[in-house]
Amino acid sequence: MFFVWSQKRINVKLAFWGPVDSGKTTVVHALAAQVAQRVDDVDVPERDTRQAVGMRRNALPVEVDEPDTRFTTYFCHPPGEIGEFSGYPVHYQCKTPEQPLEGNLALEKVLDGISAVIFVADAARERQGANEEALRDLVARLSQRYQVDAGSTSALVEQLFGADGPLRLVLLANKVDLDSAVSGEDVRRGLMLPSWVEVVESVATGERGVFEAFTAAAQAMRPLLEQAQQRGRIPS
Ligand SMILES: Nc1nc2c(ncn2[C@@H]2O[C@H](COP(=O)(O)OP(=O)(O)OP(=O)(O)O)[C@@H](O)[C@H]2O)c(=O)[nH]1
Ligand SMILES: [Mg+2]
């Protein structure tokens, strides 16, 4: 996260990660629709005030499709509590890598400077192995970046995402509408994620669960914002 001094706002980054085809891009689009709806619900004086102080309006997700860098990115400033910290607006940059993943530099790019990951797992029973593989890959990449000690995936999850870790994690169990879907709790247990990892069940195609998971991630990041403020990276 960083503080944009010229605009007196906070920027935080979130990665939407998960196995191929779990619904990551659909989730980002559903989030945009949900945020847009909530922004419209905000009463007009507040919206005018926000525009008057130069806050960017909520854009739509954009797909960047360059030969070596393919990802979807979405920038938003949600209304309400998660849209503010210590009197400053909080803007969220959401990114997810796109296919084909081979040679896609965005796999690393989406992890640059993030504060949290929303892990979009596929609830379909037959995709549980793919979820595990994607989590292992994510944890391996983050372990290198944050130089946490080698260990089991569970141990690394604790070091990366636990109370003293640099990042936060929310598990989204997507596609729970499928006949073959297992519950969010079953997805969590299958991934051997500890009980403190928040799980949200979703149907991204119906926009269900998506804003809840985003809110959970935003709330989970608050202590990181507090730490940043204590270190002087965000003014008091
Ligand atoms: N039944 C069901 N289908 C879904 C849901 N979410 C996404 N899908 C479908 O799953 C397929 C893959 O969705 P994407 O959003 O492209 O998934 P992705 O994870 O971005 O895929 P890649 O970027 O190719 O790895 C699409 O056909 C979506 O319509 C859901 O909650 N339920
Ligand atoms: Mg995608």
pLDDT score recorded for residue 56: 52
Query: Nearest ligand, CA of residue 73?
Result: 2
Parent domain of 133: 2-230
**Chain segment 39-68, per-residue pLDDT in tens:** 876 656 656 666 665 555 567 899 999 999
| Within-domain flag for 225 | yes
Say which DSSP state 176 is in: T
When comparing pLDDT for 169 and 37, which is higher? 169
Give the pLDDT score at 54.
57
Q: Is residue 107 part of a domain?
A: yes
pLDDT of residue 45: 61
From the alpha carbon of 101, which atom of ligand 1 is closest?
25
CATH code of the domain in which 116 resides: 3.40.50.300
Which residue, by CA, sits nearest to atom 2 of ligand 1?
175
User: How many A from CA of 25 to the centre of ligand 1?
Assistant: 7
Query: Which atom of ligand 1 sits closest to the CA of residue 22?
Result: 19
- Which pLDDT score is estimated for 177? 98
Q: What is the pLDDT of residues 113-125, one digit of tens each?
A: 999 999 999 999 9
For residue 70, is pLDDT > 80?
yes
The CA distance from 171 to 157, in Å, is 12
Alpha carbons 63 and 52: distance in angstroms, whole number: 29
pLDDT of residue 211: 97
- Note the pLDDT tens digit of each residue in 78-98: 989 999 999 999 999 999 999
Indicate if the pLDDT at residue 36 is higher than 80.
Answer: yes
Would 236 be classed as within a structural domain? no
Residue 44 lies in a domain: yes
Helical ranges in 103-233 per DSSP H = 106-109, 128-146, 153-161, 184-190, 210-230
Q: Is the CB of 204 under 6 A from ligand 1?
A: yes
Mutate to test the pocket of ligand 1, among 22, 26, 64, 207 (most ligand atoms within 8 A of CB): 26
Q: Is residue 235 part of a domain?
A: no
DSSP string, 19-36: STTSSHHHHHHHHHHHHH
Q: Is 61 in contact with 71 (CB distance < 8 Å)?
A: no
Any ligand 1 atom below 6 A from CB of 98: yes
Question: Which numbered atom of ligand 1 lies nearest the CA of 204?
Answer: 31
Q: Is the CB of 180 under 6 A from ligand 1?
A: no
134 C-alpha to center of ligand 1: Å? 15
**Band of pLDDT at residue 32, cut at 50, 70 and 90:** very high
| CA 70 to ligand 2 center in whole angstroms | 9
CA of 216 to the centre of ligand 1 (A): 21
Domain count of the chain?
Answer: 1
